[in-house]
Amino acid sequence: MVPTVYHFCMRAIASTVALLLLTSTVCAQNTDLKNLPQFDVVSIRPHQDEGMMRMGFQFGTVPDGVVFKGGTLDMLIHMAFDVPRDRILNEPDWVRSSRIDLDAKVAPEDAPKLKTLTRQQQWAMIVPALEDRCALKFHHETRELEVYTLVLAKGGSKLKEAAPADPHASAPSPGNSTDSLDKPGSPGQPPAAAPMMLMMNQSGVTVKGRSATIDSFVQMLSQQMGATIVDKTGLTGKYDYELAWMPDEMNLMGMPMMPMPHGPPPQGGSEQPPPPTAPSIFAALPEQVGLKLETHKEPVDVIVIDHMEQPSAN
C-alpha cells in the first residue's frame, strides 16, 4: 500500500496552499474498536514551534500506522471520532492550543491487517491510544443541536455531471498518484484520484471537485464549518464543481491560521486588510452550485468528554 501523507502549510510569503481532503466512509463512533488492531508504539511529543511566519501540519497513513504532525489535540480528537466539531462537547480549553507530533505504529505482524481497513478505521485506532496516553474518558449522549440541512436552491443544482470514466485511460504512475481516500488499499491496483482539492489564500477558500459525490461535498462542508450537515438534495451522481467563499475565521479543519501579509502599508498611513474577494458560504452555495443551507434543531448523538489530561511521557 502506497503511504498517504497530506501536508498543509502556510507561510508569510506563500499566496496559495492546497490540501487533498480526507473523505471517510466509516464513523469511529459506529466502529467496533475491539475488532481493530492496537497500536504497539505511540509517540506523542510537543510540536516544535516553526515561528510566527510559518504554521503547518501534516497527517496521513503509512503501511504500519498513522502520522500527525503540527496539529492540535483538538484536531486529532475530531479525526479519531470522525464527527463534526459541534458533536464533541466539554473538551478542555488547552486541547485547542496544544500542537503535537504523533507517530503511531502497529507491531510488524499486524501491519498486513491495516491494508484491509478504511482510512477512518485506522484513525479510529487512535481512540484507545488517547484513553491510554491522555486518560481520556467519554460517553455518548443524545442532545438537541442546531444542524444544517443541505437542499436545492431556487432554480436547482448547478453542479455539473461528471463525465464517465474512460476505461481505456492509462493508470497514473505510482510516483504521481494519490491513494484512494475512502477505500482499503488494494495491493497491485492503481490508486484512485482524490475527488476534491482545497486551496486557501488571503482571498478565501476554494474547493474543486472532480467526479465527487454529494456525500463527500457534505463532509467537506461539515469539516470546514465545524457543524453537522444533513444531505436532503436528492443528488446521487458524481459531479464536477468549484466553490469559493470567505470563512468567518480563516481555519482548516479547526486549526487557526496565521493572517497572511498584504504588503507594506501606504506611506504615512496604517495597514488596512483588503476587502473580502469571496462571498460567505451561505451566499456562495446558491450562487455557485445551486444549493443552500437551512437550519433546524434535532436530537443527535454527541460525544461528551468526561476527563482528559496532557499526554503522558513517551
Q: Which residue has the higher pLDDT, 288 or 173?
A: 288
Q: Which of 28-32, 107-111, 186-190 has the highest mean pLDDT?
A: 107-111
Please report, in angstroms and rounded to a whole number, the separation of the first and last CA atoms in the chain.
Answer: 28
Q: How sure is the predictor about 125, in pLDDT bands with cuts at 50, 70 and 90?
A: very high
Q: How sure is the predictor about 82, in pLDDT bands with cuts at 50, 70 and 90?
A: confident
Sign of CA dihedral 131, 303, 118, 176: negative
Q: Convert the pLDDT of each residue in 227-269 to its tens digit.
A: 999 999 999 999 999 999 998 754 544 544 433 333 444 455 5
How high is the pLDDT of residue 266? 45
Span of 109-113, 131-135, 270-274 with lowest mean pLDDT: 270-274
How far is it, in rounded angstroms, from Cα 75 to Cα 252? 10
Is 153 among the domain residues? yes
3-state SS class at 179: coil
Exposure b/e, 18-43, CB count within 10 A at least 16 = b: ebbbbbbebebbebeeeebbebeebe
Is 143 among the domain residues? yes
Is 252 among the domain residues? yes
How far is it, in rounded angstroms, from Cα 145 to Cα 119? 28
Average pLDDT over residues 270-296: 83
Residue 164 pLDDT > 50, yes or no? yes
Q: Which residue has the higher pLDDT, 251 or 208?
A: 208
How high is the pLDDT of residue 9? 52
How high is the pLDDT of residue 268? 53
Closest CA to 228 of 119, 128, 136, 143: 143
Is 34 among the domain residues? yes
Q: How sure is the predictor about 204, in pLDDT bands with cuts at 50, 70 and 90?
A: confident
Q: Which three cell numbers stand for residue 248?
A: 468567518
Please give the share of the chain, as a percent, with pLDDT higher than 90. 49
Range(s) of the domain holding residue 96: 4-265+274-307
Is 314 among the domain residues? no
For every residue of 209-230, which 3-state class applies, written as one string?
EEEEEHHHHHHHHHHHHCCCEE
Phi-psi sector, 232: left (phi>0), alpha (psi -120 to 50), beta? alpha
Is 312 among the domain residues? no
Residue 148 pLDDT > 60, yes or no? yes
Residue 286 pLDDT > 90, yes or no? yes
Is 93 among the domain residues? yes
Is 159 among the domain residues? yes
How high is the pLDDT of residue 173? 39
Average pLDDT over residues 269-287: 76
Span of 20-34, 147-161, 222-236, 280-294 with lowest mean pLDDT: 20-34
Domain count across the chain: 1
Average pLDDT over residues 24-48: 73
Q: Which residue has the higher pLDDT, 53 or 95?
A: 95
